[in-house]
Structure 1
Amino acid sequence: MKQEDIPVVLVNPHHVRKSKELDDNSPTKNDTKDARVIGKLVLDGRYTEPKLPEGVYAELRILMNQSDRLNKDLTRSKGRIHNWLDRYFPEHTRVFKNWEGKASLITLSCFPLPQDVVNAGEEHIAKEWKKEVQRSVGLKRAQLLVRTAKKSIGITAGVNAARIELAELLEHYAMLSRQIDELMKQVEEELTLVPGAQAMLTTPCVGVKTVAGLYAEIGDLTGYAHPQQIIRHAGLSLKENSSGQHKGETTIIKRGRSRLRAILYKTVLILVPKNAKFRALHQYLTTRRDNPLKKKQSLIALCGKLVRILFKLGQKQQDYDASKVLGPYRET
């Protein structure tokens, strides 16, 4: 349609639901009525012009969508492995705090069950570890593993099927991990083609996933005149529910791209404890004399601050300058 110079507009489904009763005062819903309501909303100018991603921004959106799917699958895969350990070798995590470490994965692959560990013996287990891991594990850890396996309370029935089950789970886990690594390499390559992306990456605690996810959701920065447009796009604008003398709680509207909102919020959760300027700003917002914010309200406000910082860095293609984050008023 765009190639034929036909204008494309989008009517918010929420507006259709809210306005469908204005003409007939009836909650009836059918295709004819919906078409009439949508047509009237278009005539009234109550529509938006969608910005469909093109070029590298379309590539990033597809890649980040795939990344989300793979990470969800990986989380489920990890949960299934945890479930297997709880059933057959619950003491495994006493020996290996992180079951995803190399030595732990070697153990699960070669000696999955407690009886396999006992039959193999300390020296053989340590020898298998040394093929892949040179430090942090050795004979003492192998001895601890054998002692723990001897006292295991794991299920002892159906062990042959249990070995097959774990082997399939580990294979699926390894495949997903490899696919995610390959995908992120492709994302990094695409980011090098985006103007301003490298400047955004100079922000402490802001990584490839954050910047790539931001561009995947909003597209080209040149399509925005002000960072507040991106804040509204993420559903972070404030709403108030007040009437007369009653003043309701002010919250965010949550209308927009939920994935963009999640990216910003998760990034702020990392920035506040690890970035000195954001930590100071969070402290100021929650302890100021006038209108102090609750902790979560402060985090939401910092999401807007992060948008403004990244927007300026990306637009002007300038590196992050910590001295400009707080401003002279809050510095004092």
Structure 2
Amino acid sequence: MKNNRNNRINQVQENTLVIGIDIAKKLHYACAVDMRGRELDKVWKISQSREGFTQFNEAVQHLMEKHQKTDVIIGFEATGHYWKNLAFHLKLNDIPFVIVNPMHVKQSKEMDDNLQTKNDAKDARVIAKLLPNGYFSVPRDMSSVDHHLRQGSSMRERLRKEIGAVKNRIQRWIDLYFPEFRQVFKDYGQQELTVLKLTPLPEDIRDASVEELVRQQKEAGAKYAGRPKMVKLIELAQRSIGISESAYMARIEIQCLVHQHELLASQLEDVNAEMVEQAKSLPEFSYLVSIKGISENMVSELLAETGSLQNYNHPRQIIKLAGFTLRENSSGKHQGTKKISKRGRKGLRRLLYKAILPLIQNNTAFHIVYTYYHSREHNPLSRKEAMVVVCRKLIQVLHGLSTHKEVFNPERMLEDLSYVTESKKVA
């Protein structure tokens, strides 16, 4: 199947049975129409089970025979994770399916009956009638490596969120029982976690000597904090305003939190390492990491969001996927400002934006491009706008390295941007 708009429309012919499905957790709704959007049967239910999927296959076959259709196309929204079981079943049975944008469904609900009504049967009908007009996208074929990277990316995101939640709980505990602790330790490093495990409360520290605290940490086989920090920690513990009640349960709580943090951090490290190993099996990995300032973890996350960049015909496709396409709001004499659409994979957009700052700091070529857009004489961009422009340029470079199978050459990049180098010479 093709993703070109005209080709998408041409996929629905007179002999094509079109089925729209509204996805839910346990019970889906399906509606069958022809190429002109005429309903061929009543909306029916599909159970999220093997029996329900088998009955759905039989219903599709019956409709095709009844209405003399030789082809079928099925469309649905990618709702949460509930659609994946149905998609897997359709793929196993070689039944073609496409994905409908939820925004298109939401915006077109009232076109049928001019009412704000929302229910599962109506959603299935709306989805079915969007397909003949080409309002769908064809999911790309994913290799085993793509599946591993996508699953690993989801795991990594969940682990990061859980680590953030545990850090917040640790900070709450510190605020209650030892609020002066942050004057010595600023982050969640190994030294801080060691102290919180062994001597978390002020009463565990105020009467101890520096040598005694260091000895305890060494005997535990942990990395211990430096002596100057321990001296300051003892001084702060002697005048702490932390709560001293329920000390026994407070120690248990902080030890549990520290163990959770260490376990999650270890799991995140394992997932990162496995994703890098999987990404290395893709042909373009070595070319992408040749860019100074781009880490292996960043490349593995990027490929998890996009798949192999060799699957894209033009970098504009990746720019649109990331939501970096420019939009404007102009009418008549009014010329609105251009902004990015933010329609696409927000994880990909966040990843690219996060990668830009170290790239600008460590890569001279990208720093020159950023400086040009931020400080050019005519229409200089703000720092954030210049970073977005560099994000778009990074996508173009990544796609070029992947398709041409070349390592990054900063001189070649700047030669292609003659307006940047000429302005530098003038300056």
The structure with the largest strand share of the pair is 2
Q: Give, in whole Å, the separation in 2 of the partners of 1:228 and 1:314.
A: 14
Q: CA deviation at 1:124?
A: 0.8
1:199 counterpart = 2:300: no
- SS of the residue aligned with 1:91? helix
Q: Give, in whole Å, the separation in 2 of the partners of 1:134 and 1:154.
A: 26
Q: Give, in whole Å, the separation in 2 of the partners of 1:35 and 1:105.
A: 53
1:115 counterpart = 2:203: yes
- 5+ residue gaps, structure 2, are 1-89, 423-427
Q: Counterparts of 1:1-332 in structure 2 under 5 Å?
A: 1-102=90-191, 104-130=192-218, 137-138=226-227, 140-327=228-415, 328-332=418-422
Q: CA deviation at 1:54?
A: 2.5
Tell me, yes or no, if the aligned pair for 1:129 and 1:137 is still in contact at 8 Å: no
Write the deviation string for residues 286-317 of structure 1: whole angstroms up to 9, x where unpaired.
22233332222211111111111111222233
User: Which TM-score applies when normalising by structure 1?
Assistant: 0.92
Instruction: Report the AA paired with residue 227 of structure 1.
Output: P
Instruction: Report the AA paired with residue 322 of structure 1.
Output: P
Residues 148, 177 of structure 1: CA spacing in aligned structure 2 closer, same or farther, 3 A cutoff? same
Q: CA deviation at 1:99?
A: 4.5
Write the deviation string for residues 151-202 of structure 1: whole angstroms up to 9, x where unpaired.
1121111211111111111111111111111111111211221111122112
Q: CA deviation at 1:52?
A: 4.6
Residues 162, 42 of structure 1: CA spacing in aligned structure 2 closer, same or farther, 3 A cutoff? same
User: Which TM-score applies when normalising by structure 2?
Assistant: 0.72
Tell me, yes or no, if the aligned pair for 1:81 and 1:166 is still in contact at 8 Å: yes
Residues 47, 83 of structure 1: CA spacing in aligned structure 2 closer, same or farther, 3 A cutoff? same
Percent identity (aligned):
37
Tell me, yes or no, if the aligned pair for 1:236 and 1:304 is still in contact at 8 Å: yes
Q: CA deviation at 1:133?
A: 7.0
Instruction: Report the AA paired with residue 329 of structure 1.
Output: Y
Moved more, 167-176 or 140-149: 140-149
Instruction: Report the AA paired with residue 274 of structure 1.
Output: N
Q: Give, in whole Å, the separation in 1 of the partners of 2:174 and 2:316.
A: 48
Higher CA-based Rg: 2
Q: Give, in whole Å, the separation in 1 of the partners of 2:173 and 2:268.
A: 23
Moved more, 217-226 or 269-278: 269-278
Moved more, 35-44 or 208-217: 35-44
Q: Give, in whole Å, the separation in 2 of the partners of 1:135 and 1:180.
A: 24
Moved more, 63-72 or 124-133: 124-133
Moved more, 225-234 or 44-53: 44-53
- 5+ residue gaps, structure 1, are none
- SS of the residue aligned with 2:206? helix
Residues 108, 30 of structure 1: CA spacing in aligned structure 2 closer, same or farther, 3 A cutoff? closer
Tell me, yes or no, if the aligned pair for 1:227 and 1:308 is still in contact at 8 Å: yes
Q: Give, in whole Å, the separation in 2 of the partners of 1:105 and 1:38.
A: 52
- SS of the residue aligned with 2:161? helix
Residues 141, 215 of structure 1: CA spacing in aligned structure 2 closer, same or farther, 3 A cutoff? closer
Tell me, yes or no, if the aligned pair for 2:100 and 2:127 is still in contact at 8 Å: yes
Runs of 4+ in 1 over 6 A off after TM superposition: 133-136
Tell me, yes or no, if the aligned pair for 2:287 and 2:401 is still in contact at 8 Å: yes
- SS of the residue aligned with 1:242? coil
- SS of the residue aligned with 1:50? coil
- SS of the residue aligned with 2:179? coil
Q: Give, in whole Å, the separation in 2 of the partners of 1:284 and 1:143.
A: 49
Q: Give, in whole Å, the separation in 2 of the partners of 1:133 and 1:196.
A: 41
Residues 175, 133 of structure 1: CA spacing in aligned structure 2 closer, same or farther, 3 A cutoff? closer
Residues 134, 116 of structure 1: CA spacing in aligned structure 2 closer, same or farther, 3 A cutoff? closer
Q: CA deviation at 1:212?
A: 1.2
